[in-house]
Chain A
Amino acid sequence: MTRYIIKRLMQGIPLLIVISVVLFALMMSMGDPVATMGGRRVTRAADYERLKRQLGLDKPIYTQYLYWLVGNSWTRIDLDKDGVAETPGTRLGILRGDFGTSLVNRKPVMQVIGERIPNTLILMLTGELIVILGALLVGVYSALRQYSLLDHVVTALSFIGYSMPIFFIALLLMTVFAVLFKRWGLPYLPTVGMFDPQVGKTFGQVVYHMVLPVISMSVVSLASYSRYIRSTMLDVLNQDYIRTARSKGLPRRSVIFVHALKNASLPIATIVGLDLPFLLGGAVVTERIFAWPGMGRLFLDHVSRADTPVVMGILMLVAVAVIVFQIITDVVYAWLDPRIRYD
């Protein structure tokens, strides 16, 4: 197993290099970060030149990539444009844990991203938890009562949920629970931000502001997860060992929840494991609609200003998380299901 994990990790390295090269190249011609820096326009040509040089943006793309990857502390750079490289570089490069500094606000990328990660995870993990619990409930119920009225209703609803664009459900919920409730004089839910600035960032405020975004995000995943659980549960219920368990007189409850559900959860564990890393990236559209200060919005804001270090930081973080979670999922799966061997 150790050999398998090492092999998979080694396979991940070329993958990450390919991803980083392609994305870096795309980011390079995405507009001029200096032009929109700090919201001010750099007017004098000399200032513009100097800024570009200080940020290392005057170098050819492969040099910029190299500096981004391994830093420039091993060499000297020419800051005053006299043809002599005199200033020692200070960047360590992403391989040594230095993600660089944001071109927009000159803060370290790790700090910029680190400020947003908890906000995104709060939202996404709550959503994922609700989705898993809800999907188990709905999926198991409709598998046990296959072709009942409720099963048909759930199947139809899950099709609608699965096809639902997030913005549609989000705007619908906002209109009903914020606009209309307010108009009718009922207690209404907030639609924007993470907390009311007048009250402050308290636990209650965050929960209160989370309700609508979490519901909007959950609808789509809930639909597909519950369909999946229904079908794996149906598969398992037709197995011989379930019939055996029933015929030896085990109580129905223990047959369903111990014998059947335990085995039906195996494929679900895979799906959850593969979905988890993508939560890190946040829900771009949901965060945009609800003005939630998470990773998705950070990404949008910094892409629009061609802030390569931050954008690359987010993308590489997600890519690494995807690779690591794939390996974890495989390992956990082999541990849960002893029939599986990777050798």
Chain B
Amino acid sequence: MESTTSQIASLSPDDLETPPLNLSQLAWQRFRRHRPAIIGLVVLTLLVLYALAGSLFFSEKYANFNDTSLRLQAPSAEHPFGTDSIGRDVLARTIYGGQISLLIGLTAVVVETFLGILVGALAGYYGGLVDSILMRITEAMLNIPEIFLLIVMAKYFGGKIPELDVFGRTFSGSVVVIVLIIGVTSWMYLARIVRAQFLSLKENEFVLAARATGTRNIEIIFRHILPNSVAPIVVSATLGVANAILAEAYISFLGLGVQPPTATWGNMLDGANNYLESAPWLWFFPGLLILLTVLSINFLGDGLRDALDPRGRTV
């Protein structure tokens, strides 16, 4: 007893206290403890590597090369995932399809987040007439099931954009169309989250102070309030990537999405149910990759919510 007190007394106050963790360290600590989220992060990294590094082994030309004499071949050493209904290599197509699917997921979320923040921030900050108009539009969009909106819009914009050349690669113009329509049909939940954040944050003293010093509204919105509501936005955007990848898969599965020969995980599934008995590898590999991607992003998003926004947990 005597010895311990003397030991403590000999230490300076600085040694006694571990330095307090800052916010990002705290968040990282909470995230690290969320085991599924770490697994999700690892799996997701592997999937991205698969899609990117795979293109070192196969050229895109090879992925789009069809030889009808080799159609519907079962997985073998030469074609590990088999070949599709016109003789293209499924493995190479899952690699290039993965690039497009992941790209669509990420960019559609950028569109979604931009629209969601814009609508939510304006509605929440200004209130009144602006709020009721914007929220009526949001409600109107929520009143129609998303898949119906996607189908109508995909039909509307489908086939109107020519092929694009980006970095020496040719994409079907439908990639851009799909990104835009997924973004345009999915911002509503984010807008509601952002609006709720703004409604409560704008009553804080720092907003009053900013206003008192004559800061412009636009600066208050984006410089002062928005950074304070970044946590729920990040969480929602992360989960949004999973939903965007699923949306692309559904719409391409229905044949209205990205048009071949550009592969995506979704359009590789189009028509696969016609070969259910003869060629199950047609749907199994792209389907499994979609499931794994969506699952790991959902785990990651769940971990991020625990780490960044512990109060925002609804389910």
Query: Which residues of A does B touch, CB under 8 Å?
Result: 14-15, 18-19, 22-23, 26-27, 29-31, 156, 159-160, 162-168, 171-172, 174-175, 178-179, 191, 224, 227-228, 231, 278, 281, 284-285, 288-289, 299-300, 303-304, 306, 311, 314-315, 318-319, 322-323
Contact = CB atoms under 8 A, between A and B. Distances in A.
A281 B148 contact: yes
B81 interface: no
B54 interface: no
A181 to B, nearest CB: 12
B272 interface: yes
Contacts of B254: 284-285, 288, 300
B313 to A, nearest CB: 8
B73 to A, nearest CB: 18
Contacts of A304: 155
B84 to A, nearest CB: 15
Contacts of A178: 276
B151 A300 contact: yes
Provide the main secondary structure of the chain A interface.
Answer: helix
B303 to A, nearest CB: 12
Contact of A29 (B139, B156, B242): B156
B242 A163 contact: yes
B253 A167 contact: yes
Instruction: Give 9 closest A-B pairs by Cβ, nearest first.
Output: A168-B287, A163-B295, A163-B294, A322-B143, A319-B143, A171-B283, A18-B140, A19-B140, A281-B145
21 contacts: A19-B143, A19-B144, A26-B156, A30-B152, A159-B302, A163-B291, A165-B287, A165-B291, A165-B294, A166-B250, A167-B283, A168-B291, A174-B276, A179-B280, A284-B151, A285-B147, A285-B254, A303-B152, A311-B152, A318-B144, A319-B143
Contacts of B155: 30-31, 303-304, 306
A166 to B, nearest CB: 8
Interface in B126-185: 136-137, 139-140, 142-145, 147-148, 151-153, 155-156
Contacts of B280: 171, 175, 179
B295 A319 contact: no
Contacts of B9: none
Contacts of B225: none
Given A168-B288, A299-B148, A303-B155, A163 B298 contact: yes
Interface string B263-291: 00000010011001100100110011011
Contact of B151 (A18, A22, A156, A303): A303
Given A19-B143, A162-B298, A315-B144, 9 more contacts: A159-B298, A165-B246, A165-B249, A165-B290, A167-B287, A174-B276, A224-B315, A311-B152, A322-B142
Contacts of B148: 281, 284, 299, 314-315, 318
Contacts of A172: 287
B298 to A, nearest CB: 5
Contacts of A299: 148, 151
A289 B276 CA distance: 11
Nearest to A283: B147
B75 interface: no
B187 interface: no
B98 to A, nearest CB: 15
